[in-house]
Structure 1
Amino acid sequence: MPNHKNNSLKSLAAAALAAALLAACGSSPPAQFYTLSAPASASTNGAIPAQGPQTFIEVMPVAVPDRLARPQLVVRSDATRVDVLEQERWSSPFNSELRDALAAGVASRLGAIDISRSGRPADQVSYRIAVELRDLDAVRGGQVQASFGWTVTRSDDRRSAVCRMTVVEPVAGGAVGDVVLAMQKAVSGAADAIANNVKALQAGQGAKCAG
């Protein structure tokens, strides 16, 4: 009898623990997913690329700080601490999300084709774009500050443009969506500058860095 009683108590405890775990899982909010790619109309600012020979770009994988190389959003909470938001995530790992957003932004501004995954057509000039995100600080209700560095290189004569740029965008409110919108604007600013570098190389001019 004592063994039977002990077994019953263990079964009840296990059932209670399982119920508690299920309740905890059920109370967790669902993950929210975000993208860095701005809508097409916003990324081009209504501009229509000039007609001419087709432009091909190749945007390489983007290097990002280790603390950002994750699917979760990372925001700064004070001067010494950052928060990794487990339930607020990018639609793909952050470095991939950033590469895709920059590639789409530059391509839309130039009316270009991104050949990063398909390869350059024979006898066609392309522009290889290598980008590094040097730093990114995002503060809810504050601002997003992003520092970029990049090189744009022509495939035919190897002429290149090398630039650095820091973009600061205000965050409209305390919601995560407000932070994402500010980050989209920062990426859009970098795409503007990179597209201008490509245009300069197309015209045989030197790079003009935005600062």
Structure 2
Amino acid sequence: MRSTNFRPVAAAFGAALLMAGCASSTGPQYYSLAESAAPARTPVAAVGTTPAFIELAPIAMPERFTRPQMVVRKKGTPESPAVDILEDHRWSSSFESELRDALGSSIASRLGAVDVTKTGRQRGQPATRIAVQLGQFDAVEGSRVDASFTWTVRRTDEGPATGCKLSLSEPVGSGFDALAQGAQRVTAKLADAIAGSVSALKANSTSPCAA
């Protein structure tokens, strides 16, 4: 009897382990907007000089993007107003936080600056304040990422804010990995443009938005 009862129990236990193994292999795929490698650029700040400071405000964006799930245009009907909110393909944090973190580190890297967005700055310590607004971010699987941004840069110790804008269309391959990589490239190009406007403002350029 012991031998007869053992087999069904063992079989059931083995099936449970198999199901547990399958369950553990499924779940959302997470993506980051941060650059996978440091950009091959020479920082603006020279070695040995006092670093500049930047302060990036929370990114203003439409409510539909304030979530970790990817929001994409319907495949096959990219011109339709309908979108898909993908539960199985997510940013590693809310899209607003992901974009802000990626931009802050990328802009600071390009300028050789210190990002005091989260650490704060000492009283009397001048910084360049950056405010970004996302106007469009349309991701179409296997096609492109269309994005538009406006931003202002202002020295905390003087002068009014200077406004700039940028529109991009980044082609992407098939699959959601390619879509996330396209979004990374859009973010990197935005960081290039904002860093350029901060440098131009510092140099008292008459055209700080000519990136």
Q: TM-score, normalization: structure 1?
A: 0.81
Residue type of the partner of 1:169?
E
Q: What residue in structure 2 maps to residue 45 of structure 1?
A: 40
C-alpha distance in structure 1 between counterparts of 2:84 and 2:36, whole Å: 27
Question: What is the correspondence of 1:29-178 to structure 2 with a 5 Å cutoff?
Answer: 29-41=26-38, 44-51=39-46, 52-77=49-74, 78=77, 79-80=79-80, 81-171=82-172, 173-178=173-178
Deviation at residue 150 of structure 1 after TM alignment: 0.5
Q: Residues 58 and 114 of structure 1 are in contact (CA less than 8 Å); yes or no, is this contact kept in structure 2? A: yes
Q: Residues 108 and 115 of structure 2 are in contact (CA less than 8 Å); yes or no, is this contact kept in structure 1? A: yes
Deviation at residue 49 of structure 1 after TM alignment: 3.4
Aligned alpha-carbon RMSD (Å) = 2.2
The superposition leaves residues 85-133 of structure 1 with CA deviations (integer Å, 9 ceiling, x where unpaired) of: 1011111001010111111110000011111122222332201111011
C-alpha distance in structure 2 between counterparts of 1:60 and 1:119, whole Å: 12
Q: Residues 69 and 90 of structure 2 are in contact (CA less than 8 Å); yes or no, is this contact kept in structure 1? A: yes
Gaps of 5+ in 1: 1-18
The superposition leaves residues 167-206 of structure 1 with CA deviations (integer Å, 9 ceiling, x where unpaired) of: 11110x2110100111111111111111011111111223
Corresponding residue SS for 2:109: helix
C-alpha distance in structure 2 between counterparts of 1:183 and 1:68, whole Å: 13
Corresponding residue SS for 1:129: strand
Corresponding residue SS for 1:182: helix
**Structure 1 residues 166 and 210, CA, compared in 2 at 3 Å: closer, same or farther?**
farther
Aligned pairs, number = 187
Q: TM-score, normalization: structure 2?
A: 0.81
Gaps of 5+ in 2: 1-15
Among all aligned residue pairs of Structure 1 and Structure 2, give the percentage whose two residues are the same amino acid.
45
Question: What is the correspondence of 1:10-21 to structure 2 with a 5 Å cutoff?
Answer: none
C-alpha distance in structure 2 between counterparts of 1:85 and 1:203, whole Å: 44
Q: Residues 198 and 208 of structure 2 are in contact (CA less than 8 Å); yes or no, is this contact kept in structure 1? A: no
Corresponding residue SS for 2:107: helix
